[in-house]
Structure 1
Amino acid sequence: MSSFTGTAESIGLHTAHPKRLALASMIGTTLEYYDFTIYNTMAALVFSQLFFPSVDPMVGTMLAFSTYAIGYLSRPLGGLFFGRLGDKIGRRAVLVITLIIMGLTTATIGLLPTYGSAGILAPLLLITLRFVQGVALGGEWAGAVLLAVEHGRQDQRGLNASWTQMGPALGTLLGTGLIYGFTSLMDNETFLAWGWRVPFLLSLVLVTFGLWVRNGIEESPMFKHLEEAHTKAKAPIKEVVTNHWRRLLLAGGSRIGGDVLYGLIVVFTLTYVTTVLQLPKSTALMALLIGTGFNALAVPLFAILSDHWGRRPVLALGVLSAIIWAFFMFVLLDTAQTMAIVLASVGGLIVHACLYGPQASFIIEQFPTRIRFTGASLAYTFAGIIGGGFAPLIMAALFTGYSSSYAISIYVAGAACVTGLVLLLARETAHKPLEE
């Protein structure tokens, strides 16, 4: 600990219980990816029939993925608004607001009329809710990471930040498990009639639990220290863009490779297995469920490795693995064998964990405390548009245009190379104190 300064302990405000802090950190991203998982899965499986029924199935799927992209396009607005708010009034208050908005918008999607009963109004309402949901998500991630890192030991920032990164795997597990259960127990007609709505409505349970957990966590000690010293940023957005634009680009670029790989495995593969290979929905969902379980275990392990070896070496391993897996994954999928499809999912999501585990700590370590919420939010949300937001849509368009998975593999490998370039240009941050 002697090599770190400005820790929560040295400030004297480290009061959060570690287990509750971990839960508070991961609950928002768990809800976020639970929401996104059920939306992504419905977009791949049924939304083309429910909201875009008058077009070709693959085109309908592309339209459904377009509404998925809207959730990413609106995130920078949330990053701008909530990031600034988090650096002005504190991390904890923002996290309560974003959690409530996320839960309510997701539950409302479960109450929407379909195209058959409301016509064009149905997809318009869906787009509106996705937009609002994305705004809330834009402010959630950075605040959750900061809550864990600014409270915790500074020699294990990678592990502390990874609690937030575990949320996607847990949310995906929960969402995929529920949908797998519903599709296994219901016939297709019943699922289309009302079964698809239930997972959206159940998000309210996560919101209630999340609010209870977060109400037991105090404000970040490092933010309190800024308040007491009267050194909070007066214009955090301007300060980030003017003084830290290079770090902003590097932090954002570190996300692109992992996001595109995630879009391939978790979103596009569902469509590929069910539409191209014409295998049952349950096969694709089972493979995703097993792979996500491995992802949940691997994320903190790679984060711990990054605390010991450094962020750059672990991320570089992920980049190289992603380039290889981008091509090998389709070799496994095209066998149309259940075990090979499961292996494709497991291997891909372990590679994703190598990129995703150290990512949160790498991003927040680029910025000083006074503008850390704003800087991390902007980096994360703008990169999300380039990386994750359009990835499923681009993959569907590439496959439609070239009738081959090879173009998709090149796209995924290219995205990984972008993150690789960032690692060449970035400084190592794992064993340095956070900037005040």
Structure 2
Amino acid sequence: MSTPERPDRPEPAAAPGRTALATLAGTTLEWYDFFLYGTAAALIFDKQFFPSLSPAAGTLAAFSTLAVGFVARPLGGLVFGHFGDRVGRKATLVVSLLLMGIGSTLIGVIPTYDTIGFWAPVLLVVLRIVQGIGLGGEGAGATLMSMEHAPEGKRNLYAGFPQMGTPAGLVLANLVFLGTNALTGDAAFTGWGWRIPFLLSFVLVVIGLAIRLRVTESPSFHRVLEEDDVVRFPLAESLKAGFPRLALTLLAVVANSAVAYVFMVFTLSYGTKQLGHDKQFLVLSVTGAAVLWFATIPVWTRVADRYGRRTMFIGGSVAILAWCAAFFPLLDTGAAGPAVIALAGMGLIIPVTHCVQGSIIADTFPAHVRYSGSSLILQAGAILGGGLAPMISTALLNSGGSSTGVTWYLVAICGVSLAGAVALFRLVPETPARTARPQIGDEAWTAPR
């Protein structure tokens, strides 16, 4: 890819609502693929790809392949961020969707350990890397595309639409997973039926591409071209935001990722293998909580646009810390009622901080380096938080024999994020919400002192 020439005529502006819905559709499909893998890693892959290991070691190995995807995400974020700032948001988002679809579809056809032995987990890891690279390019880009099309005063609302793709993808993945299991039966599903949801990715990606190709390029990127503001190394330029702000932004968002993946992935393995809950019950409970997560994001983003992000984000950080302290004690009762309450609570609390973290990260950077800078922070947070969380939780559970260590791990990382958020908003005081002006806009930007 090369830097595009300055256009004689910009593309006609797309309706902001249509662009927001297109980014929601694309992120939903990408997260469907990513979460489908997480669910399969928790419930299936230990038997199919690591049968020679003990159940505990097999689960840890399966979660390790899950973590590989997170390690690959920064690579995707850096590559797609570079070209997104030099070539445009639209083209990179199309390629990222293709990569994710190809990786997921091929997972649906790879042989298992019983067929090709050692090479089965190797192929699984390779395709997981492809998935990670694709999602690494998607996360920041979709948020920017929607936010940069946003009407005045609605940046948080429009930046929240791609964030809704996370719970929507989880709901879609879990429903397809449960539906296929119900149609094939447990034995057949464990043997071969688990492949069907992955093969369905091909159809979904075709639909997603048809939607995404109709979206016009970001107005902010058009302005970058018109002002001849494309830089050769956008990632290096983005670092001018300064280490204190970059570090505090990273710390502020890392807990949300860690807590979300313990809730969405680790809980499935823990609840079925340690507490004896029915698999369908847990998957349905997580799915119901994800519906709450999805439905409340527009509410909280409107609150952020009207009243500001600071109080809402810090209050949400306190709430998620408190709920993490209660989460596993509720689950450990072994009863269905407290388990539903624990999971539903996560579905209500996680979106308070998740819905605006994309806009907080994006507003750290000017338009001409925003894709690269946002990808750096977002993917680093994903590794430190979500990528390691299921594996660390499993190791803590195996070493301590109870969920107490996992609870302390979540509380500690939430405490770090809360401290980071408080320090971040002190470093960069929030612009009054009613002015509807971002602190760092497209027209003028200076690195914080």
TM-score, normalized by length of structure 2? Answer: 0.92
Compute the displacement of 1:369 (Å): 0.7
Q: Please tell me whether residue 148 in structure 1 is matched to residue 135 in structure 2.
A: no
Q: Please tell me whether residue 346 in structure 1 is matched to residue 344 in structure 2.
A: yes
How many angstroms apart in 1 are the aligned matches of 2:441 and 2:21? 26
Q: What's the secondary structure of 1:21's corresponding residue?
A: helix
1:399 corresponding residue in structure 2: 397
Q: Which residue among 203, 211, 215 is the counterpart of 1:213?
A: 211
1:303 corresponding residue in structure 2: 301
- For residues 63 and 418 of structure 1, do their structure 2 counterparts lie closer, same or farther at Cα, with a shift above 3 Å needed? same
How many angstroms apart in 1 are the aligned matches of 2:55 and 2:217? 49
Q: Which residue among 66, 69, 75 is the counterpart of 2:67?
A: 69
Whichever residue aligns with residue 104 of structure 1, its letter is I
Q: Is the 8 A contact 2:275 2:332 kept in 1?
A: yes
2:270 corresponding residue in structure 1: 272
- For residues 370 and 246 of structure 1, do their structure 2 counterparts lie closer, same or farther at Cα, with a shift above 3 Å needed? farther
2:90 corresponding residue in structure 1: 92
1:435 corresponding residue in structure 2: 441
Q: Which residue among 386, 390, 394 is the counterpart of 2:384?
A: 386
How many angstroms apart in 1 are the aligned matches of 2:222 and 2:293? 34
Q: Which moved more, 1:312-321 or 1:335-344?
A: 335-344
How many angstroms apart in 1 are the aligned matches of 2:244 and 2:222? 28
- For residues 253 and 154 of structure 1, do their structure 2 counterparts lie closer, same or farther at Cα, with a shift above 3 Å needed? farther
Q: Which residue among 39, 42, 54 is the counterpart of 2:40?
A: 42
Compute the displacement of 1:106 (Å): 0.6
Q: How does 1:8-47 map to 2 (within 5 A)?
A: 15-47=13-45
Whichever residue aligns with residue 414 of structure 1, its letter is A
2:195 corresponding residue in structure 1: 197
CA displacement 1:157-193 (0-9 Å, x = unmatched): 1110110000011110000011122223333210122
Compute the displacement of 1:15 (Å): 1.9
How many angstroms apart in 2 are the aligned matches of 1:139 and 1:262? 20
CA displacement 1:14-61 (0-9 Å, x = unmatched): 721234212221123212221122111111111100000011111101
The CA RMSD over aligned residues, in Å, is: 1.7
Q: Please tell me whether residue 262 in structure 1 is matched to residue 260 in structure 2.
A: yes
Q: Is the 8 A contact 1:104 1:204 kept in 2?
A: yes
Q: Which moved more, 1:195-204 or 1:418-427?
A: 418-427
Q: Is the 8 A contact 2:43 2:269 kept in 1?
A: yes
Equivalences, count: 426
Structure 1 segments of 4+ aligned residues over 6 angstroms from their partners:
11-14
Compute the displacement of 1:305 (Å): 1.3
Whichever residue aligns with residue 191 of structure 2, its letter is A
Q: Which moved more, 1:133-142 or 1:115-124?
A: 133-142
Unaligned runs of 5+ in 2: 1-8, 443-449
Q: Is the 8 A contact 2:251 2:421 kept in 1?
A: no
Q: How does 1:323-342 map to 2 (within 5 A)?
A: 323-342=321-340
Q: Is the 8 A contact 1:24 1:213 kept in 2?
A: yes
1:282 corresponding residue in structure 2: 280
Q: Is the 8 A contact 1:273 1:284 kept in 2?
A: yes
How many angstroms apart in 2 are the aligned matches of 1:159 and 1:391? 29
How many angstroms apart in 2 are the aligned matches of 1:329 and 1:100? 37
Q: What's the secondary structure of 1:358's corresponding residue?
A: helix
2:177 corresponding residue in structure 1: 179
1:118 corresponding residue in structure 2: 116
Q: Is the 8 A contact 1:262 1:349 kept in 2?
A: no
Compute the displacement of 1:344 (Å): 1.2
How many angstroms apart in 2 are the aligned matches of 1:54 and 1:30? 35
Q: Is the 8 A contact 1:183 1:282 kept in 2?
A: no
Compute the displacement of 1:211 (Å): 1.0
Compute the displacement of 1:13 (Å): 7.0
How many angstroms apart in 2 are the aligned matches of 1:414 and 1:96? 38
1:4 corresponding residue in structure 2: none
1:3 corresponding residue in structure 2: none
Compute the displacement of 1:435 (Å): 2.4
Q: Please tell me whether residue 54 in structure 1 is matched to residue 52 in structure 2.
A: yes
Unaligned runs of 5+ in 1: 1-10
CA displacement 1:109-133 (0-9 Å, x = unmatched): 0111000001000000000011111
Q: Which moved more, 1:336-345 or 1:81-90?
A: 336-345
Q: Is the 8 A contact 1:290 1:342 kept in 2?
A: no
Q: What's the secondary structure of 2:231's corresponding residue?
A: coil
1:6 corresponding residue in structure 2: none
Compute the displacement of 1:198 (Å): 0.5
Whichever residue aligns with residue 86 of structure 1, its letter is G
TM-score, normalized by length of structure 1? Answer: 0.94
Q: Is the 8 A contact 1:14 1:151 kept in 2?
A: no
How many angstroms apart in 2 are the aligned matches of 1:435 and 1:246? 20
